[in-house]
Amino acid sequence: MPTMDPKVIAVVGSGYMGGGIAQVLALGGHDVRLADVSAQVAAANRERLLTEAATFVADGLFPSDAVERIEARVTAADSIEDAVAGADFVEEAVPEKIEIKHETLRRISAAARPDAIIGSNTSTILIGRLAEAVERPERFLGVHYSNPAPFIPGVELIPHAGTDEAILPVVEEIVASSGKETARIKDSTGFVLNRLQYALFHEATQLVEEGVATADDIDTVVRTTFGFRLPFFGPFAIADMAGLDVYSFCYESLQTRWPERFATPASLAELVDAGKFGTKSGAGYLDVPAERADDLVAYRNRAYVAMAKLKDELGPAPIHPEA
């Protein structure tokens, strides 16, 4: 993990998400104060985190000294106010209800240092709406970890219109110190992760409801085809490698049944009309130079074989009785 000067961090909301965030921040070298609806809940959840960490160590998922490091660096505060007093960074991780978040953020911002950075782990609520409850909202942004927080590497950073841009590199460094990778996202309902995730889920449910395939068979298609690529490449890299002209033809085919639902994206049409077909032409969404195409294909092939080996090593997920 990258290193930085240790920070004092408060995590408000010590449940499954907040607890996982606290674990990785502590392993990143920071002093973490947990707060919840009561001192008793915070203390009980701290004990749960230590028990979980011991299991993760036994399973080879955490470093061998993780329990000792978490025990030394994570404390349970008596109150939200005690947790955030003097903290450099505060991460709010309370339930996804705007009224609960507003009340919590009011308490956090009233008790925190004026220069303390405040983040919210909201997954769908507009950061601008949450900022209404924050004193000095220029120090506030979304810092969205994914479930399970100890093991999913991506974190969305979402400033609102009034966020001071100077705080973003500081938050990026804090998140990176916990072994995570950040992406800067504009404030939009659902942000990026959940707009994409729910778009896929919505189309999957349509396929089930139309009788095209069962839920089990759809999951098989996703995890063994385009989902197999996703640990290595995002949708734009995949499209560039497949060929944007090919994508354009596929949209035309889909439009014979759903002309509006699968209308060709304007950006795709513009690129194809300009002769920018992706990797094979040296220009597309990502503008990968044509001379790097062979190296990219070689990496892709190695990655997919490595993923297949990993799947064989892990075996099937224990979803079905025979697994």
Which tokens sit at 53?
A: 């960490």
- The CATH number given to 8-184 is 3.40.50.720
- The mean pLDDT value of the chain amounts to 95
* Delimiting residues of CATH 1.10.1040 domain(s) in the chain: 225-314
Instruction: Please state the rounded mean pLDDT for residues 30-49.
Output: 98
* Domain 225-314 in CATH 1.10.1040: yes
Distance of CA 29 to the CA centre of its chain: 21
What's the pLDDT score for residue 18?
97
pLDDT band at 290 (very low <50, low <70, confident <90, very high): confident
What's the pLDDT score for residue 27?
97
Q: What is the pTM of this model?
A: 0.92
Measured CA to CA, the distance from residue 44 to residue 22 in angstroms comes to 14
pLDDT at 55 exceeding the cut of 60: yes
Task: For 106-148, write each residue's pLDDT tens digit.
Answer: 999 999 999 999 999 999 999 999 999 999 999 999 999 999 9
Task: Identify the H or E element spanning 247.
Answer: helix 244-255
Q: Which of 247, 239, 227 is nearest to 288 (CA)?
A: 239
* Delimiting residues of CATH 3.40.50.720 domain(s) in the chain: 8-184
Instruction: Please state the rounded mean pLDDT for residues 166-193.
Output: 96
Which tokens sit at 106?
A: 């009011």
